[in-house]
Amino acid sequence: MQGSCLCGGVVFDLTAPLRPVIACHCTQCRKQSGHFWAATSVPLSAFRLIRFDTLAWFHASPQAKRGICTGCGAFLFWQATGSDTISLGAGCLDGPTGLQIAESWHEDSAGDYYLGPQTQADTLHGACLCGANRFSLPGPMGEVRACHCRQCRKISGHFGARFDADPATVVWHARNTRDHIGPNNGIRTFCPTCGSGLTFRQGDRFAIEAGVIENPTGGHLARHVFVAEKADYYGLSDGLPQNADNGSEGTQA
């Protein structure tokens, strides 16, 4: 089975049976994925990098390293120091996986916008995992759209979740970003050091990755879009409205 980042700078293949998927809601995975991460795992002997031109490793702690693409900001890999296995984002895999999410870790670090109760928030504080990017904007977060399109899956390692905002109200306290421009002229802005996705802009639409907000948000997951491109290893059973494509807004989430 093959997998890749969105821009194709990182491509890998796997030859062993894959471990069932673990969803991780820890703060580090939430910042890098923009929502929460969902990873499978294989022995290193069954893992081969085919392309790695843009692969970089970020150490959030001495215990592990996190593999990102510096070309598109995708969060692909996680490896414990000295381990002979590697975890990889299930959303980065191509084609049917035959996998299922078997466990959910660190739910106490999950966002209030998807594992309530929602909390009021006058100001939202966002930051990437390495801290090179910090911003704030008026709260609350409001409605969050989960996007299951192929692009969001490749970037996040699972699926995307964003809320719309007025870019004029965003105050950057520290900024070092890079842009990846997608096939529909969607501009994904991310941190080139740690790979955390930050914002998405397409035409007049501006949205912020929900997972990078650090404080209670006052937001709530409201809709799933591009579910026709959803991966096979997870279901959507929360009862929220679903659109096969982008809904009716005329832009890609």
Residue ranges of E strands in the chain = 2-4, 10-14, 21-24, 37-43, 47-52, 55-61, 64-69, 75-80, 85-89, 101-105, 123-127, 134-138, 142-147, 160-164, 171-174, 178-181, 187-190, 197-202, 205-209, 219-225
Closest C-alpha among 104, 5, 2 to residue 46: 2
* Residue 43 within binding range of Zn ion, rule CB under 5 A: no
User: To the nearest whole angstrom, how small is the minimum distance from the Cβ of residue 10 to Zn ion?
Assistant: 6
Number of Cβ within a 10 Å radius of residue 49? 12
Of the candidates 39, 146, 147, 210, which one interacts with Zn ion according to CB under 5 A?
Answer: 147
Of the candidates 110, 194, 207, 210, which one interacts with Zn ion according to CB under 5 A?
Answer: 194
Of the candidates 55, 68, 69, 110, which one interacts with Zn ion according to CB under 5 A?
Answer: 69
* Residue 212 within binding range of Zn ion, rule CB under 5 A: no
Binding mask 99-128 for Zn ion (x = CB under 5 A): -----------------------------x
Number of residues in contact with Zn ion under rule CB under 5 A: 17
Closest C-alpha among 38, 45, 39 to residue 16: 45
Of the candidates 22, 46, 132, 170, which one interacts with Zn ion according to CB under 5 A?
Answer: 132
Cα atoms in the Cβ-side hemisphere of radius 13 Å centred on 30: 22
Point out which span in 27-35, 42-50, 107-115, 129-137 binds Zn ion (CB under 5 A). Answer: 129-137
Of the candidates 71, 126, 140, 219, which one interacts with Zn ion according to CB under 5 A?
Answer: 71
* Residue 130 within binding range of Zn ion, rule CB under 5 A: yes
Nearer to Zn ion, 29 or 74 (CB): 74
* Residue 88 within binding range of Zn ion, rule CB under 5 A: no
* Residue 149 within binding range of Zn ion, rule CB under 5 A: yes
Quick one: residue 245, left, alpha or beta (phi over 0 = left, psi -120 to 50 = alpha)?
A: beta
User: To the nearest whole angstrom, how small is the minimum distance from the Cβ of residue 81 to Zn ion?
Assistant: 20
Residues 6+ apart with CB under 8 A from 237: none
Point out which span in 31-39, 72-80, 200-208, 216-224 binds Zn ion (CB under 5 A). Answer: 72-80
* Residue 14 within binding range of Zn ion, rule CB under 5 A: no
Number of Cβ within a 10 Å radius of residue 167? 13
The strand order across the sheet containing 47-52 reads 2-4, 10-14, 47-52
* Residue 92 within binding range of Zn ion, rule CB under 5 A: no
Point out which span in 21-29, 81-89, 166-174, 192-200 binds Zn ion (CB under 5 A). Answer: 192-200
* Residue 72 within binding range of Zn ion, rule CB under 5 A: yes
Amino acid at 90: A
CB-count burial class (<10 Å; 0-12, 13-18, 19+) for 85:
middle
Residues 6+ apart with CB under 8 A from 1: 13, 14, 18, 93, 94, 95, 97
Of the candidates 32, 136, 193, 199, which one interacts with Zn ion according to CB under 5 A?
Answer: 193
Binding site for Zn ion (CB under 5 A): 5, 7, 9, 69, 71-72, 74, 128, 130, 132, 147, 149, 152, 191, 193-194, 253
